[in-house]
């Protein structure tokens, strides 16, 4: 009888221990899944400052000097870009001459805010001929932008559509024409800038072009957006527009000569 009782209590104890371990493992799996899954950035705003994470959506992991070390690939730099695009300086060759240009890198929102449907969400791309045939741009005063329709997305928040009339340069006619641009997409960051008087940024109208139906046709507009950038990139648009570049066609003669030099060395 005593032996049966002992076995009974052993079974009960083991059952309790199993349930406790199972609960602990489930709790840890849920926690691990949460930290590895796509947590909205807003959740980190409410989090205790002392509870740090390495999650990609944790805004505390970004900023000047924030870097992750990888022994195989080197440094992964995390930075905050307070704009829809930024310029990257690059040296290119035109024939035998070297030239410094600025490549515009534009953020592609996702879901119903996507700018490039064939580019993955939340990806920043250089505006080169791989994606567009060209683009036009001009600085705007934010007082000239009136949102006619508000848009909302759970991930990105508020954006909008606007109609805006601009003096637009038409390369085909070499003239400026006053044109009404309808249903122009106002990005979430641009809308935030428009509504906040304390933010110092530059508002920009971007007209993205694609090739016409044949080689003799003029380029066609496929997307118009109102975006925002910091004052340094705004200064490039205002004072150095001739240095903004998108034609990344490879100079094949230069490449041949460069390869020859490498083979000789």
pTM of this structure: 0.74
CA distance linking residue 262 with residue 265, whole number of Å:
5
- In this predicted model, what pLDDT tens digit does every residue of 216-265 receive, in sequence order? 777 788 899 999 999 899 999 999 988 998 764 444 454 455 555 555 65
What's the Rg (C-alpha) of the chain? 27
Could you say which of 49, 77, 105 is where a domain stops? 77
Q: Is 188 found in the same domain as 107?
A: yes
Dihedral (Cα; 136, 114, 66, 88), 10-degree rounding: -20
CA distance linking residue 116 with residue 159, whole number of Å:
17
Residue 54 lies in a domain: yes
Q: Is 100 found in the same domain as 71?
A: no
Question: pLDDT at position 44, please?
Answer: 76
Residues 6+ apart with CB under 8 A from 77: 66, 67
Question: pLDDT at position 251, please?
Answer: 46
Residue 252 lies in a domain: no
Residue 49 lies in a domain: yes
Please provide the average confidence, as pLDDT, over all residues in the chain: 80
Residue 136, Cβ neighbours under 10 Å: how many?
17
Q: Is 174 found in the same domain as 111?
A: yes
Dihedral (Cα; 123, 210, 207, 245), 10-degree rounding: 70
Q: Is 227 found in the same domain as 167?
A: yes
Range of the domain at 229: 85-245
Q: Exposed, middle or buried, 153 (CB in 10 Å: 0-12/13-18/19+)? A: middle
Q: What percent of the chain has pLDDT over 70?
A: 75
Q: Please tell me the total count of domains within the chain.
A: 2
Residue 152 lies in a domain: yes
Question: pLDDT at position 133, please?
Answer: 83
Q: Is 236 found in the same domain as 173?
A: yes
Listed as ranges, residues in the chain with pLDDT below 50 are 29-30, 32, 248-252, 254-255
Q: Is 111 found in the same domain as 27?
A: no
CA 237 to chain centre: 19
Residue 256 lies in a domain: no
């Amino acid at each position: 009888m005593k032996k049966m009782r002992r076995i009974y209590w052993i079974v009960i104890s083991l059952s309790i221990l199993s349930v406790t371990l199972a609960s602990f493992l489930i709790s840890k799996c849920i926690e691990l899944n949460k930290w590895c899954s796509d947590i909205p950035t807003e959740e980190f705003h409410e989090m205790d400052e002392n509870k740090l994470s390495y999650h990609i959506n944790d805004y505390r992991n970004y900023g000047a000097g924030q870097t992750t070390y990888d022994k195989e690939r080197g440094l992964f730099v995390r930075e905050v870009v307070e704009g829809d695009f930024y310029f990257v300086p690059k040296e290119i060759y035109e024939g035998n001459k070297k030239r410094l240009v600025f490549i515009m890198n534009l953020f592609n929102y996702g879901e119903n805010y996507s700018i490039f449907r064939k580019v993955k969400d939340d990806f920043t791309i250089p505006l080169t001929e791989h994606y567009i045939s060209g683009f036009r741009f001009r600085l705007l005063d934010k007082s000239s932008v009136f949102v006619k329709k508000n848009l909302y997305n759970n991930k990105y928040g508020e954006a909008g559509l606007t109609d805006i009339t601009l003096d637009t340069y038409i390369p085909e006619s070499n003239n400026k024409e006053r044109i009404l641009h309808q249903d122009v997409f106002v990005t979430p960051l641009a809308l935030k800038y428009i509504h906040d008087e304390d933010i110092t940024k530059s508002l920009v109208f971007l007209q993205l072009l694609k090739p016409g139906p044949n080689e003799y046709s003029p380029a066609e507009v496929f997307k118009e957006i109102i975006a925002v950038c910091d004052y340094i990139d705004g200064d490039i648009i205002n004072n150095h527009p001739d240095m903004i570049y998108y034609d990344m066609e490879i100079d094949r003669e230069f490449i041949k000569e460069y390869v020859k030099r490498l083979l000789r060395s």
